[in-house]
Structure 1
Amino acid sequence: MKSIKQIFRLTYLVPAAMGMLLLSTGCKKFLDTERQGAYDADNYPYPGGSGPYDQFIFGAYNELRSFNVHSQAFITAASIRSDDADKGSTPADGGANATTMDNFPVLPSNGFCNTLWLGYYTLINRCNVTINEVNTNTTIVATDQIKQQTIAEARFLRAYAYFNLVRFFGRVPIIDKLFDNPAQQNNVPQSTAAQVYTFIEGDLVFAASNLPASWDAKFVGRATRGAANGLLAKVYLTQQKWNEAMGAANAVMTSGQYDLSTSYDRIFREEGENSKESVFEVQATASAAIPSNNGVQYAQIQGVRGAGIWDLGWGWNTPTTDLEAAYEANDPRKNRTIMYTSTNTTTFQTIYGENLPTGLPNPRYNNKVYTNPATRASLGNRFGYWMNVRILRYADVVLMYAEAANEVGGTANITAARNALNAVRARARAGNNTILPDVTATDQATLRDAIRKERRVELAMEHDRFFDLVRWGVAQTVLNAHGKTAFSNARDVLLPIPQTQIDLSAGVLTQNPGY
């Protein structure tokens, strides 16, 4: 039987960069290298339920695993800037790029800012390539439904990229087409944040209307209608469009595709990937033969920094004592989120029963990215490239619904908000009725505080906290109290536009206030 690589050479000629991305695809997770569901001579050029534009859209999905999109810079900007996490590792590790992200202010010369800019615009370009191929490539024959579905996938991924860009940088250029001369995109001026949000909404509304509710199992991880509505809910919530956010979240909750049946402990294990809790996650894989090329470095960067068998990563993004104190008594989510280094008086264990050593550089590590030692042994690899990145969980959608319904107000909506909040708490207590009692508040202000606290502990270390603080308008108060006294609301809610990009644009791009 021919391999995917052999069949590819016989079938389509595509631009080299996109072709190289396709060569690593298969389908256990749909961008996997395992043989299950892989293309063969009988189902190429595409399995039933997919489409002939896979060679292009897979390139966009693959970009989600890029170091520039979901690794060092992303973790630093989305999590370490908050009160949930410290940089960790050793004081000098990462240099000024990292320490200023942690403690502010970030300078326009910060390399992490430029990394994020390049990563997300590369993802956007991959999406625009896909849309262009659907609209202009006359050698590919496909139904209108397949064309629309492919464009919807690309627009979902493009919306996700722009959502991160606008939250990181505010005013950014909207690039929605390919240029004859790629250098021309350096001269596209910035749009206002409001214009960017309108653009994102348009992409997501289209995606929600044209994506399937689910995919065949061999395409697990591809964007769905629920993913589009869930992301749209977060986009609306960020803008305080409460009615719209409530409606988009409700569309996910009533879709029948997701629920809270997956235990909190299981969600973050390898076997918990793509569960009923998963609305969208970045698919990653590794094998003994290909340990990293089809994976993502997200887990390694946060892995325990030690020696020998405890050399599992860089030790970045370590939970703070402030986060530790945020949990209610005996909340099981605390120990599932925070992994403790053993001390001379206390031996702590991993979720797999291993005794953690003493003398590690940091007292706490992110337990949500801890990998199964059996998987590490089978792959001959310690660094977790196979771990998916959870981008949007169902509990997040339920809590967004709760927040939006509470803000809309009225007795019925506040009751619905409280019920949604308590559903998340019920899953967390896992049948132990002596902990995490139902919230009984009936007034909007008290329930608002309860929902915000629940978001923190449910979604801790999952790159939401900083953005939540900003959209709630409490970032300066909270971060200054946490010890990040250099944080200024007038400047630091946004990152600086990378000076490198301003220079490349010959001044077309302008700097954010305060920098």
Structure 2
Amino acid sequence: MMCLLVTSLVCAGCKKGFLDRNPQGKYTSDTYPYPSGTGPYDTYLFAIYAELRSFNVHSQAFICATGIRSDDGDKGSTPSDGGADAIDMDNFPVQPNNIFVNTLWVGYYNLINKANIAISQIRNSNSNTVNASEEIKKQSEGEARFLRAYGYFMLVRLFGRVPLIDQVFDDPAAQSNVPQSSPELIYAFIEEDLKFAAQHLPLTWDAEKFPGRLTKGAANGLLAKVYLTQKKWAQAMATADLVMKSGQYNLNTPYDKIFTEEGENSSESVFEVQATASFVTPTANGVQYASIMGVRGTGNWDMGWGWYTPSRNLDTSYEAGDPRRRRTILYTTGDSAISLYGEILPAGLPNLMYNHKVLTSPVMRRTVGSLSGNWMNIRILRYADVVLMYAEAANELGGAANIAAARTALNTVRTRARGGNNSILPDITTDNQAELREAIRRERRAELAMEHDRFFDLVRWGIAEQTLHAVGKTNFRNDRDVLLPIPRTQIDLSKNVLTQNPGYPN
């Protein structure tokens, strides 16, 4: 049986609910072997949750692939930092021997493998030795299948054709020889996993014991995005509507609070990677996400690598007065060079702008005794995203009723964004489908900027090439760069069972 570290995080004076919390993947002395209301499979489930914090899953390579490739941001840092592999992620094409490509492949298959281990243990457990009701078994399998589906959703969007592995191999080397399946087959598999998860996961968990643990809403929210990616508009609209009518989420959290430590696991959160830190344990239970995008400076501003900096195109794309611009972009020059915490940025930083959404609070930096931000959660799926998915799907279905529903949903996001200032971000009033489509797309960019959807949105809208060429990324080719190359390392390990994506050298 896998061993999990038993820790008890102690942090005097920390605010309950965002620092003094139990990260997924760890037991504490109070909850070992498992607290009331969960089950005996948590050893395996928490191992999958812990993998979400892996450097290979949600750190440098993830930021490169989901952010730096888009028009929202650039590599940032210094010109040579990261070498050719990083530069190619920004400017295209990415080579099959790019280190970040193999990192992503290994990271998401590690996540999938741990999910398969959990599913195998749950399905094959002996009722004489494991005391678990059928309900707990289904619930536990639902968690594992959600996380497996998430791994495959990332892989299919990144690589297209990938091996479909749904079992635990006695010989790990044999896994390298599984041929690729079509994207259609992968998407069908993802849908089935998420439908199962949505059926068996609870609506809520005890927020004190299990902050951020997967729910029915998370499964339906991710499933809606899977449908949207495939242009299955009716299914996407209906599934997003299930989340919206669940009563578990709302847009009440102010936009400027969502990305703070206190905004973690708020009513905006649908799927959020959990991380934590203390003065005693500053990094082991965290994730190296915020620090990679943190301000690259010296002294108190030596917060990170300065990767994925907002682009000038993003800066100028906001509507006049949109408060999300200043909450998303941390400026380093002029009168705007001040953080949401009132900190004035020093002169001479290597980049003109940084991602304001990952800036940590001064209180937390002092409490943890670190500038790294390893304790910051990652917002993978927010409620506003679900509402905008509903709006997009409804509008694409067309018809007066659906277009009206799409417009109403869109305007709820704009209402929250304007923060009570009715002189900005007026309601969208058009009933023209094409005009509303463009309004929804603009809103997605403004609402979700510097997060993880922009590149995938451009690809599924079919406008990646024209958009990226317009911001100077003219090496991008639609017949090649919508997908990453299959890693050369993996092709070699498979003895050429795996084949390369179109447009890339073998």
* TM-score, normalized by the shorter chain, greater than 0.5: yes
Task: Specify whether residues 347 and 192 from structure 1 end up closer, same or farther in structure 2 by C-alpha distance, changes over 3 A only.
Answer: closer
- Closer/same/farther in 2, CA of residues 32 and 511 from structure 1, 3 Å limit: closer
State the secondary structure of the residue aligned to 1:466: helix
CA distance in 1, matches of 2:500, 2:8: 40
Unaligned 5+ runs, structure 2: 10-16
| Match 1:169 to one of 152, 159, 180 | 159
Secondary structure (helix, strand or coil) at the match of 2:162 reads: coil
Q: Does 1:23 align with 2:6?
A: yes
- Shift in Å, 1:30: 3.6
Which amino acid is 1:214 matched to? T
1:501 aligns with one of 480, 490, 497: 490
CA distance in 2, matches of 1:425, 1:310: 33
Correspondence for 1:53 among 41, 44, 52? 41
Q: How far apart are residue 172 of structure 1 and its match? A: 0.3
CA contact (8 A) 1:24 1:32 kept: no
SS at 2:90 equivalent: helix
Aligned residue in 2 for 1:249: 240
Matched, 1:422 2:411: yes
CA distance in 1, matches of 2:351, 2:120: 48
Deviations 1:371-406 (A, max 9, x none): 001110111100000000000000000000000000
Deviation at 1:31, TM superposition (A): 1.6
Deviation at 1:29, TM superposition (A): 3.7
Instruction: Name the SS of the counterpart of 1:219 in structure 2.
Output: coil
Partner of 2:79: 91
| Structure 2: distance between partners of 1:328 and 1:509 | 46
Which aligned pairs between 1:308-457 and structure 2 lie closer than 5 A? Answer: 308-343=299-334, 346=335, 348-457=337-446
Q: How does 1:24-423 map to 2 (within 5 A)?
A: 24=7, 28-31=20-23, 38-40=28-30, 44-138=32-126, 139-217=129-207, 218-343=209-334, 346=335, 348-423=337-412
Q: Secondary structure at the match of 2:481?
A: coil
Cα shift readout 1:459-506 (whole Å, capped 9, x = no counterpart): 001110000000000000000111000000000000000000000000
SS at match of 2:308: strand
- Measured against aligned partners, the alpha-carbon deviations of 1:280-330 in whole angstroms (never above 9, x if no partner) come to 100000111111110000000000000011100000010001001110001
Letter paired with 2:262: E
Find the aligned partners of 2:475 and 2:449 in 1 and give their Cα distance: 23
Identity among equivalent pairs (%): 65
Query: What is the CA-CA distance between 1:39 and the residue it aligns to?
Result: 4.0
- In structure 2, what residue type is equivalent to 1:146? I
What is the distance in 2 between the residues matched to 1:33 and 1:380? 23
- Output the aligned Cα RMSD: 1.4
Q: How many residues align?
A: 492
Cα displacement string for residues 416-460 of structure 1 (whole angstroms, at most 9, x for unaligned residues): 000000000000001100000000010100000000000000000
- Counterpart residue identity of residue 284, structure 2: N
Contact 1:69 1:119 in 2 (8 A): yes
Q: Which residue of 1 aligns with 2:14?
A: none
Q: Secondary structure at the match of 1:385?
A: coil
Moved more, 132-141 or 505-514: 132-141
Q: Does the 8 Å contact 2:7/2:28 carry over to 1?
A: no
TM-score after normalising by structure 2: 0.95
Structure 1's 33 and 379: CA in aligned 2 closer, same or farther, altered over 3 A? farther
Alignment-mate amino acid for residue 69 of structure 1: V
Q: Distance in 1 between matches of 2:367 and 2:191?
A: 43
Between the aligned partners of 2:53 and 2:25, the Cα distance in structure 1 is 14
- Flag as ranges the 4+ runs of structure 1 deviating above 6 A: none
Distance change (3 Å), C-alpha of 1:228 and 1:33: closer
Query: In the aligned structure 1, how far is the partner of 2:457 from the partner of 2:25?
Result: 36
> How far apart, CA to CA, are the structure 2 residues paired with 1:32 and 1:448?
38
Aligned residue identity for 1:481: A
Report deviation, 1:48.
1.4
Question: How far apart are the structure 1 equivalents of 2:293 and 2:252?
Answer: 27
In 1, Cα distance between equivalents of 2:141 and 2:167: 13
Contact 1:33/1:285, CA 8 A, preserved across alignment = no
SS at match of 2:401: helix
In the aligned structure 1, how far is the partner of 2:201 from the partner of 2:22?
16
Contact 1:376 1:382 in 2 (8 A): yes
Query: In the alignment, is the contact (CA less than 8 A) between 1:25 and 1:33 conserved in 2?
Result: no
Deviation at residue 38 of structure 1 after TM alignment? 3.8
Following superposition, the deviation at residue 23 of structure 1 comes to 3.3
Is 2:443 the partner of 1:460? no
* Cα 1:165/1:32, change in 2 over 3 Å: closer
Q: Give the residue type in structure 1 aligned to 2:339.
A: T
Unaligned runs of 5+ in 1: 1-13
Check the 8 A contact 1:87/1:98 in 2, yes or no: yes
**How far is 1:24 from its partner?**
4.9
For the 8 Å contact 2:25–2:47, the answer to whether it is kept is no
How far, CA to CA, are the matches of 1:24 and 1:151 in structure 2? Answer: 25
Task: Please list the CA deviations of residues 88-144 of structure 1 after superposition, one character each: whole Å capped at 9, or x if unmatched.
Answer: 000000011100000000000000000000000000011011111111232322000
Q: Contact 2:322–2:424 (CA<8 Å) still a contact in 1?
A: yes
CA distance in structure 2 between the aligned counterparts of 1:175 and 1:109, rounded to whole angstroms = 23
The one-letter code matched in structure 2 to 1:210 is H
For the Cα contact (< 8 Å) 1:30–1:221, is it kept in 2? no
1:45, CA displacement in angstroms?
Answer: 2.6
* Contact preservation (8 Å) 2:6, 2:29: no
**3-state secondary structure, aligned to 2:163:** coil
SS at match of 2:271: strand
Counterpart CA distance in 2 for 1:44 and 1:349 is 44
Structure 2 Cα separation of the partners of residues 463 and 514 of structure 1: 25
Q: What secondary structure is seen at the aligned counterpart in 2 of 1:318? A: strand
CA distance in 2, matches of 1:38, 1:334: 40
DSSP 3-state at the match of 1:255: coil
**Cα shift readout 1:189-227 (whole Å, capped 9, x = no counterpart):** 000011100000000000000000010111011110000
